[in-house]
Structure 1
Amino acid sequence: MSAPMIAWVPVVNRAYRFLTSFSLESHPSINIPSVEIHDVETAPEKRARTLKHLLKANHVNFSILFHDLQFDNHMAHILCSSYLLGANEDQLSHIYTEMSKTLEEWTDSPAEITDQDWRQFLGDRRYQRAYVDFFEDELALKHDYDWKIVVKEFFFEGENPLINCVISGLGHPLIQLGYAFEFSSKEIAMEALGLAATCYNHLHKYSDDPSYTKPSEKSTTSIFEVLHRIGADKRLDGIFKDKNGSNSSYLFEHHESLVLEHWNSWAIEDPIKQFEESQKAAAALLVATVADGAEDFDFFLVHILTSSHAARILLPFVPKKFHVGVVRQWFLLAIAVYIGQLRPKIDWAPVEKASVGDKGWKYVAHKAVTGPHAADAHYVKALRAMKEAASTWGDADGQYVSAAGVMAVQRRYERDEAATFKWEFTAMYLHNDPHSWGLRESFEKSIISRHRNHKRAI
Structure 2
Amino acid sequence: MGNSSSAPAPTGTRQEQAQTKLTQLIRANHATYAVLYHDRRFHNHLPHLLGSAYLLGASAGQLAELYEAKTSDLEQWREDNPDEVTADDWVDLCGRREYQRGFRDYFDEEMMEYNYDWRRVVAKYLLAEDGRLLNALAADVAHPLIHLAYAVELDSAELAVEALTLAAVCYSPYTSLVGDFVAAAPTGTERDPLAVLSTLRTVPELGFTATLNVDAATDTYARVLDDDVLPHIERALHALDTVDASDALERITRACATLLTATHPDDRVVFDFYLLHALTAAHAAQVVLPLFAGHERALVGALWLHVILLYVAVQRPSVRPERDSRYVMPAGESWETVTELALSGPQRQDVHYVKALRALRWMDGIYSPQEHEFLRPASKFAREKVEFAFGAAKADRGVQLDAAP
**TM tier, smaller:** 0.7 to 0.9
2:385 & 2:15 partners in 1: Cα distance? 35
Alpha-carbon displacement from aligned partner over 1:223-276 (angstroms, at most 9, x marks no partner)? 122122223x24347444653514422440431111111111112234333322
Residue 118 of structure 1 is aligned with which of 61, 74, 90? 90
The equivalent residue for 1:15 is none
Is the alpha carbon distance of 1:154 and 1:215 closer, same or farther for their aligned partners in structure 2, counting shifts above 3 Å?
Answer: closer
Q: 1:68 — aligned with what?
A: 39
Describe the shift of the 1:351–1:87 C-alpha distance in structure 2 as closer, same or farther (beyond 3 A): same
Identity %: 30
Say if 2:305 is the partner of 1:332.
yes
Of 175-184 and 290-299, deviating more is: 290-299
Return the match for 1:258 from 226, 232, 238.
232
1:173–1:234 distance in 2 versus 1, CA, 3 Å: closer
1:424 maps to which residue? none
Aligned partner letter, 1:64: V
**In the alignment, is residue 50 of structure 1 matched against residue 21 of structure 2?**
yes
Which residue pairs with 1:235 in the alignment?
204
| Contact 2:22/2:54 (8 A) holds in 1 | yes
Q: Which of 208, 220, 241 is the equivalent residue of 1:267? A: 241
Distance 1:353 1:204 in 2: 38
Deviates most, 258-267 or 407-416: 407-416
TM-score of the superposed pair, with normalisation by structure 2: 0.86
Higher RCO (CA 8 Å, separation ≥ 6 residues): 1
The answer to whether the 8 A contact 1:83-1:92 is kept is yes
CA displacement at 1:121 relative to structure 2: 0.7
Check whether the contact 1:311–1:326 (CA below 8 A) recurs between aligned residues.
yes
State the alpha-carbon separation in 2 of the partners of residues 205 and 238 from structure 1.
23
CA-based RMSD of the aligned residues comes to 2.2
Q: If the length of structure 1 is used for normalisation, what is the TM-score?
A: 0.77
* Runs of at least 5 residues in structure 2 that lack an aligned partner in the other structure: 1-13, 392-405
Q: Which residue of 2 aligns with 1:92?
A: 63
| Residue of structure 2 equivalent to 1:133 | 105
1:399 alignment partner, SS class: coil
For 1:44 and 1:305, how far apart are their aligned partners in 2? 27
* 2:380 alignment counterpart: 406
Q: Distance in 1 between matches of 2:206 and 2:350?
A: 34
Q: State the alpha-carbon separation in 2 of the partners of residues 106 and 353 from structure 1.
A: 48
Q: 1:128 to 1:247 in 2, by over 3 A?
A: closer
Any gaps of 5 or more consecutive residues in structure 1? 1-42, 418-458
Displacement after TM superposition at 1:45 (Å): 1.1
> Which residue of 2 is the match for residue 223 of structure 1?
193
CA distance in 1 between partners of 2:339 and 2:186 (Å):
43
Instruction: Give 1:164 shift.
Output: 1.8
8 A contact 1:219–1:264 mirrored in 2: no
- The one-letter code sitting in structure 2 at the alignment partner of 1:370 is S
Note if contact 1:168-1:201 (Cα within 8 Å) is conserved in structure 2.
Answer: yes
- Contact in 2 for aligned 1:63/1:73 (Cα 8 Å): yes
The answer to whether the Cα contact below 8 Å between 1:226 and 1:266 also exists between their aligned partners in 2 is yes
Q: Could you tell me which residue of structure 2 aligns to residue 10 of structure 1?
A: none
Shift of 1:44: 7.8
The match for 2:171 is: 200
SS at match of 1:86: coil
Aligned position for 2:251? 277
1:386 aligns with 2:355: no
Q: Residue 415 of structure 1: CA displacement?
A: 3.9
The 8 Å contact of residues 296 and 412 in structure 1, kept in 2 or not, is answered as: yes
Structure-2 separation of matches of 1:272 and 1:196: 23
Q: How far apart are residue 161 of structure 1 and its match?
A: 4.2
Counterpart position of 2:221 = 249
The answer (yes or no) to whether the contact 1:65–1:72 under 8 Å persists in 2 is yes
Number of aligned residue pairs:
371
